[in-house]
Every structure is written in C-alpha cells, then in structure tokens.
Structure 1
Amino acid sequence: MPKKTIKRMMPDHQTIKDNKYLKIFGNLLHNANLWHLNRHSVAKAFAVGLFFAFIPVPFQMVLAAGAAIVVHANLPLAITLVWLTNPLTMPFIFYACYLVGTWVLAEPEQAFAFQANWQWVIDSLSTIGPAFLVGCGVLAVTFSILGYFGIQALWRYQTIKAWKSRPHR
C-alpha cells in the first residue's frame, strides 16, 4: 500500500519542526492534520510539491510548506517533493520548461549558452525568459494535476486490491 512506502521514506516530524527556514510558520506546524497520511492529504501534498518543484524561485520548500499548511496537505511529503528539482535534475527540467514555453508561445527556439553569473540571468530574462516562465507555469500546473489524480487513483486501486485479497469470512 502506498501509505507504508511513503511513511518509510518521510523525514521525522521533529526534523521538519526544527528546520530554521520553516520556523516562520511557528505554531502552525503543530497542527496534527499536517502529519497524517491518508489519501487526501497525500494527494494534496503531491499537488503542492510538484507545483512548486517547477517554479524557478529560491526557497521553494518554504513556499511549499506555506501552501501545504493552507490546503491541509501532508507537510513532510510536500516539502520532500520539491526536491524533484535538485542540482542534478534542474538543468534538464528547466530546459524542458523552456521547450514547452516555446511550443505554447509558438516562438522559435533560441540558441543560448548558459553562464553562471547574474548578468547572464538578467540579459536572458528578455530573450528566453518569457518562454521559460510560461513553460514552468504550464508544467507546474500539469504535473500538479497529474500528481493529485494519479495518487488518488493509485491509492484507490491499492485499497480495492487489499480488500479483495482479504480472506472471506
């Protein structure tokens, strides 16, 4: 069942409560509903975590935590899913965002060479920025919706399978 697998992989409650960046939420982190694992809280956590994974801003975990608190999603799972975009996967994911953005805006792809400095970032906002940001938005919403309904369906399938495998009394 997904609940057991997710529970094994989740960080400890205290680790998240002690995170220095999440202390801004204060007593909101003590809400017991943020720590429960059920079909609805996990599906909402997938939606929140996958949405913010595709948003190219610093402190994605803090934004995901705030959204998880607002929608009563499982907090550790929402924060963990943001790390889908990590330093290893970020170039590939953000390039895919750029490609989707060029497709949505019907713009031709522009050749560019990444440079790790702020001047390049500022200069690129006017050239490849619009397509990149549109692509990030489209993929954020798409994967958020797919994650939500995918977890709902997987959880329902696993529950039905577990009930059917019970011995008849």
Structure 2
Amino acid sequence: MPKKLLKRFFPSPDQVKRNRSLKFLAPLFSKPNLWHINRRAVARAFLVGVFTAFLPVPFQMGIAAFLAFYVNANVPISIGLVWISNPVTIPPIFYGTYLLGSWMLGTPSNEFSIELSLQWVLNELGALWAPLFVGSLAAGLVLSVIAYFAMHLAWRMHVAHNWKKRQLIRQRRNETEK
C-alpha cells in the first residue's frame, strides 16, 4: 500500500509520546506493530476498525484502540476507520443493521419514527436493541473479514505491480547498456 502517503497523515510514536495529554498511551509503544505500516498490521487494523464502526455503542474509538492493541494492529488506522460510522452515515447503517437483525432473529421489523429525546430512547430502546445489536455484530463481522482479506489482496497486488515495474526498469536499463 502507499506506505509513504500513510506515514505523512499519521503521527509518529515520538510525536504521541511528547504530547502531555496522551501520556496514558505509553503501553501502546511496547508493541512495534501498533505504529508500523506493514501488510499484517494494516489488514488487522481494517478488521478492527470496520468491526468497531458497526458497533452501536458509544466510545467506538476507545474500543478500536483497545482491540488494536490486543490483536497487534496499527492503532491510528484502526481508530480512523471507526469514522465509517459518522453522524451522516449512522442512520442508514444502523437502520440496515436493525433490519438485518430483525430478519436474523425472525422478528418483525417495527415501524417507528425517530425523535431526538431521552424519553423516546428509553421507550423504544427495549424493542430495538436486540435486532440492532445482532444485526450490527453480524454486519460488522462479515464486512470486517471482507475488509481484512481485501486489504491483504490489495497490498499483494500493489507489491506485485511494483515488482513488475522494477523488472521493466532493470530490463530497459540492461538493454540500453548493451
């Protein structure tokens, strides 16, 4: 993958260590893969980040960081991928996962209208939480595994392309030297 491009956008471990407000992240520096950009760490980051993005819970970025630490994935990429579910995409994602969960549990999907109030959340959460949670887990698991293997494939294709390009350059250089 474009290693140099990614390194420009993400902070280095030294930059994070020097930041006073991030001192609590010191254990993250004991594992080198948490900051390195290589095929395995990035693929695991996609697995963690995409899965966490589909969880219907608060503090997704913290969960992604914890899971990235646990599976030895790239932390900045894991946290960045959580923003797949942002304020614009959350309604369609969670409505889709609610419908998937209703189908998986065999329960009818209820018609409901959304109100932005605590009373609505407390009243409707009981009927919505099980299908939403089951659908979110299923969609997150399937899509994160697809993202994991897609990243492996994309990385290998990128490396193979670079190998072919280098072979052509060597071949042309050898032909001009003769």
After TM superposition, the score normalised by the length of structure 2 is 0.84
Q: 1:124 Cα shift? A: 1.8
**Residues 146-157 of structure 1 mapped to structure 2, 5 A cutoff:** 146-157=146-157
The reply on whether 1:164 has 2:164 as its aligned counterpart is yes
Measured in 2, the distance between the counterparts of 1:45 and 1:55 equals: 16
Instruction: Select the structure with the greater relative contact order (CA < 8 A; seq sep ≥ 6).
Output: 1
Segment drifting more, 112-121 vs 140-149? 112-121
C-alpha contact 1:16 1:76 (8 A) present in aligned 2:
no
The answer to which structure has the higher helix fraction is: 2
Q: 1:12 Cα shift? A: 5.3
Provide the residue aligned with 2:134 in structure 1: 134
**Residues 1-169 of structure 1 mapped to structure 2, 5 A cutoff:** 1-11=1-11, 13=13, 18=19, 24=24, 26-31=25-30, 32-166=32-166, 167=169, 168=171
Instruction: List runs of 5+ in structure 2 lacking aligned partners.
Output: none
After TM superposition, the score normalised by the length of structure 1 is 0.88
Aligned length: 167
Q: Root-mean-square deviation (CA), in Å?
A: 2.1
One-letter code aligned to 1:154: A
One-letter code aligned to 2:134: V
State, as a whole percentage, how many aligned pairs show the same letter.
43
Measured in 1, the distance between the counterparts of 2:20 and 2:83 equals: 16
C-alpha contact 1:101 1:135 (8 A) present in aligned 2:
yes
Q: 1:77 Cα shift? A: 0.4
